[in-house]
């Protein structure tokens, strides 16, 4: 997005044989996934399949038992925390705060990796924060206390903070939680149009198919399918991995695959 004050291309992200064991149980198993520079890749899978655990390895909340996370040609574990935060920003599910920052103060925290010592925000920093809030439609909330916001408003503010970090790679864990349909589409459109490198966990397969250039499917910690949505989102895969029956149709405007779910046939009363 040239001239926008937001990052414009990002760098390649590569999960290279990532495994994570917790309390002797392997949660993620030999996960290898490439996210090309400037693309949006989705991770989908049932609850407990290892999606959030894989993301935690990317933003360094977890250290993989085996394998390496690469940003460009750099092993992320070999960088300082500050340099790592310049490279990777995260929007996680566990983002509660008891501190009543204003919206503008919370978004400004995204600039922390770029500031040394007690240096205050400069003109560029303020412009980046302002642009991030405009993109997410929260600029009119700038003076509000974060604790006064609805869940959906707070979600968009946190997305603005992540964008204000100007990362090369952005990872998001269920970013559309608490958002109504319009804001779900709006947030995902911002991520797609920003052309930074994005790895996002989504539960809604139709949203994933609409916004992601590629999708990786996790089941029991293993990557069982990866590719463009048109190749990955199939009736057979959805039934095999998620245990539900669905018909796959083509969106009449975008051509993306969309799922129509079938509820189980009810048993007639009296039987």
Which tops the pLDDT comparison, 212 or 117? 212
DSSP codes joined into one string, 103-156: HHHHHHGGGGGG--TTPPP-HHHHHHHHHHHHHTT-GGGTTSBGGGS-HHHHHH
What is the rounded radius of gyration, in angstroms, for the C-alpha atoms of the chain?
19
pLDDT at residue 7 greater than cutoff 60: no
The SS3 of residue 96 is coil
For residues 154-166, average pLDDT: 94
The predicted pLDDT at position 119 comes to 83
pLDDT, average across residues 87-93? 91
Q: Has residue 4 got a pLDDT over 50?
A: no
Q: By percentage, how much of the chain surpasses pLDDT 90? A: 80
Distance CA 10, CA 87 (A): 9
Q: Extract the tokens encoding 255.
A: 């051509």
Task: Note the pTM of the prediction, 2 decimals.
Answer: 0.91
Give the per-residue pLDDT at 9: 57
Q: Residue range 122-136: average pLDDT?
A: 96
Question: Is residue 265's pLDDT more than 80?
Answer: no
* 263 confidence band (pLDDT: 50, 70, 90): confident
pLDDT of residue 3: 37
What burial class does residue 46 get, using C-beta atoms within 10 Å of its C-beta: 0-12 exposed, 13-18 middle, 19+ buried?
A: middle
Mean pLDDT of 78-82: 93
Look over the chain and give the mean of its residue pLDDT values, rounded to a whole number.
91
Q: Is 196 left (phi over 0), alpha (psi -120 to 50) or beta?
A: beta
Q: What pLDDT was estimated at residue 2? A: 34
Question: How do residues 233-258 score in pLDDT, each as one tens digit?
Answer: 999 999 999 999 999 999 999 999 99
User: Regarding beta strands 25-35 and 13-22, do their DSSP bridges make them parallel or antiparallel, or are they unpaired?
Assistant: antiparallel
**Mean pLDDT score, 133-139:** 95
Please tell me the total number of residues recorded for the chain in this structure.
271
Three-state DSSP at 55 gives: helix
Phi and psi, residue 163, nearest 5°: -65, -35
The average pLDDT across 70-90 equals 94
- Domains along the chain with CATH numbers: 13-261 (3.40.50.300)
Q: Evaluate if residue 219 carries a pLDDT over 90.
A: yes
| Residue pair 59/53 in contact by the 8 Å Cβ criterion | no
Phi-psi region of 157 (alpha: psi -120 to 50; beta: other; left: phi over 0): alpha
CA distance 199 to 13: 9
Mean pLDDT of 79-104: 85
Q: Residue 191 — pLDDT band, cuts 50, 70, 90?
A: confident
Proportion of the chain above pLDDT 70, given as a percent:
93
């Amino acid at each position: 997005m040239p001239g926008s004050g937001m990052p414009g291309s990002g760098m390649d992200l590569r999960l290279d044989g990532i495994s994570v064991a917790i309390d002797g149980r392997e949660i993620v198993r030999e996960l290898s996934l490439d996210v090309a520079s400037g693309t949006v890749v989705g991770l989908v899978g049932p609850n407990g399949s290892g999606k959030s655990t894989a993301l935690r390895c990317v933003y360094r909340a977890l250290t993989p038992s085996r394998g390496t996370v690469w940003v460009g040609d750099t092993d992320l574990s070999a960088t300082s925390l500050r340099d790592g935060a310049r490279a990777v920003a995260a929007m996680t599910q566990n983002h509660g705060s008891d501190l009543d920052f204003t919206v503008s103060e919370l978004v400004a925290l995204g600039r922390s990796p770029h500031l040394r010592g007690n240096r205050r925000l400069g003109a560029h920093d303020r412009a980046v924060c302002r642009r991030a809030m405009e993109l997410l439609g929260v600029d009119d909330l700038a003076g509000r206390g974060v604790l006064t916001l609805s869940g959906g408003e707070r979600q968009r503010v946190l997305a603005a903070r992540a964008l204000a970090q100007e990362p090369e790679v952005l990872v998001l864990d269920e970013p559309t939680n608490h958002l109504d349909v319009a804001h779900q589409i709006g947030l995902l459109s911002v991520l797609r149009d920003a052309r930074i490198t994005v790895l996002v966990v989504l539960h809604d397969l139709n949203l994933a198919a609409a916004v992601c250039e590629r999708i990786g499917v996790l089941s029991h910690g293993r990557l069982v399918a990866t590719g463009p949505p048109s190749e990955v989102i199939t009736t057979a895969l959805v039934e095999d991995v998620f245990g539900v029956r669905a018909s796959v149709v083509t969106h009449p405007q975008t051509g993306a695959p969309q799922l129509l779910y079938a509820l189980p046939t009810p048993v007639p009363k009296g039987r």
